[in-house]
Chains A and B, each alone.
Chain A
Amino acid sequence: MKRPGLVSAAIVIGCILALEVACRYGFIRRSVIPAPSEIVSMLYMLLKSGTYNEAIRLTLSNIAISGLIATVLGFILGVIIHANDFLRRGVEPFLVSYYAVPTFIFYPVLVVIFGVGSAAIISIAVLMSVVAMITSTLNGLDRLPPAFPRTARVFQMSPVSTALLITLPATAPYLFTGMRLVISYSFIGVIASEFILAGEGLGYSISYTYNNFENSKMFALMLFIIVVVSVINSVLNNIDRRLKQRLQRGD
């Protein structure tokens, strides 16, 4: 681990220790935040007993499905928009200002269309994340050096092998950035939707424990989500960095 990594780890550990001390000595009441050690042991118990296994499975699979749909759909739309200048000039203003609008306000509309349940939740998450993938795809295609497709033509490559062997690897770092954003937005979209309009899943479980004053369970579930997101993020960060390093031109 490098120095900045050490510092961030120290900050996190320091905060947790401070919280632990504050809770143990009654500076913070148990009904506000339980001690970190209590949260961890609660999470361990919950996972061991399997009470929330079904909720975890459902939520993670909804995130995976919406992430997959948004990635593929966003990529295809990005390629289509890139190929069509006229379409692009019409669509670009919407893409740019898209995340200024809280997409979430449309959930009643989606509930009307898809009903309550996974379909509605997945569509909200896709709606929230697909534009990040479109934008990243456009970004990657814009930065493709013109000499690459020209080299493909000199080697008499077909459009398909040009796409697979040149365009795809050349734009991979940008596509990957898009995927990372898609995963983040899918997490937010799915869990937030479960909060509001589901009777199952992790988001629902958190809101249920909240409403029933089951504080340590609630915090244990929150901890679980944080751990999962951190692990996924650090794996993706690593891949991202490796892809970017290779693409950076040293001149």
Chain B
Amino acid sequence: MSIMSEAIAIAPAPEAHAPVAASLSGVTRVFGASGSGMAVHALGPIDLSLYKGEFFSVVGPSGCGKSTLLDVLAGLSKPTTGTAEFEGRAIDGVPDGVGVVFQEDASFPWLTVENNVAFGLRRAGFEAAEVERRVNYALGFMGLRDFRKAYPVQLSGGMRQRVCIARTLVLQPRLILLDEPFGALDQQTRLLMADELLRLWRETNATVFLITHSLDEAAMLSDRIGVMSARPGTIIETIETGWPKDRDSRIVSDLRFASITARMWEKLRVETMKTMVSQEGKLQ
């Protein structure tokens, strides 16, 4: 235990002094609070600052409020209490420069892959040549070039999710919010996609907020990892990984990688058990 903490503590924290991209303070979210019926306290209170250009991941037991947290950051739902800011301004609706990839498949079945990817660009009024250029780049990047004329129904779940990722990335958001984007992919593809995501992150300098249930993924990708408690989710621990910016999936063999995942699991084990116990209680 003490050895692990030391290993992590030694790691430098280069992002610590970077300017803040987005911040939450005292954010909670309660569903069904105003109406009758039972109120569900889904989230918080949460205090969180995302630093400009950092890669921040969130892990937590299922149903702890991760997607709810993402909704607040995206401006898709208002916090019940507390404040949320993006680039110094209170979040009210989805701010400019924020891109979201949802947990569910959101590819449009009536559009071809390339038209799906171009959708946001066209809404934003980019001219045809620029749309074409960015779509081509994203299709290549996501390994979808051979499927540009295909409809989502012809693709696997993982490929549809890549369509959604491409559709978000072509707009070059400054803050990218990803909710389990690789959930539908197999392990090998996940690793490759993770490398691609890292490459993209380095190239664009975007701030990335990633929700994942894979501890390995969080440990390998992130500058910082927020570990969440069982519902109502709060951030019980923030782990700084101290990886260099030009890392890739090969760091999984690094000694520190093991200690980071061990640290996450130490915290999560207890929280996950709480979730299981409360579900058992419901069943009886």
Chain A residues packing against B (C-beta within 8 Å)? 145-148, 150-151, 153-157, 161, 165-166, 169-170, 172, 245-251
Contacts and interface: CB of A to CB of B under 8 A. Distances in A.
Contact of B94 (A147, A156, A161, A249): A156
B154 A161 contact: no
Interface of B: 74, 76, 93-94, 96, 98-100, 102, 104-106, 108-111, 119-120, 123-124, 151-157, 168
A198 B179 CA distance: 63
A172 B110 contact: yes
Given A151-B106, A246-B110, 4 more contacts: A154-B98, A156-B123, A250-B153, A251-B157
A246 B153 contact: yes
A248 to B, nearest CB: 6
B170 to A, nearest CB: 11
Nearest to B157: A251
A10 B120 CA distance: 51
Contacts of B100: 150-151, 154
B167 to A, nearest CB: 8
B123 A157 contact: yes
Given A156-B123, A170-B110, A247-B109, A151 B157 contact: no
Contacts of B157: 251
A248 B151 CA distance: 11
- Listed from nearest, the 8 A-B pairs whose CB atoms lie closest are A147-B106, A169-B110, A147-B104, A147-B102, A155-B123, A154-B100, A251-B157, A151-B106
Give the interface SS of chain A, mostly helix, strand, loop or mixed. Answer: helix
A246 B123 contact: no
Contacts of B110: 169-170, 172, 246-247
B108 A153 contact: no
Contacts of B108: 148, 166, 169-170
Of B94, B98, B109, B157, which is in contact with the most chain A CB atoms at under 10 Å from its CB? B109
Contacts of B154: 250
Contacts of B155: 250
12 contacts: A147-B104, A147-B105, A150-B102, A151-B102, A156-B96, A161-B123, A170-B110, A172-B110, A246-B109, A246-B153, A249-B153, A250-B154
Contacts of B151: 246
Contacts of B98: 154
A166 B153 CA distance: 17
A150 B106 contact: yes
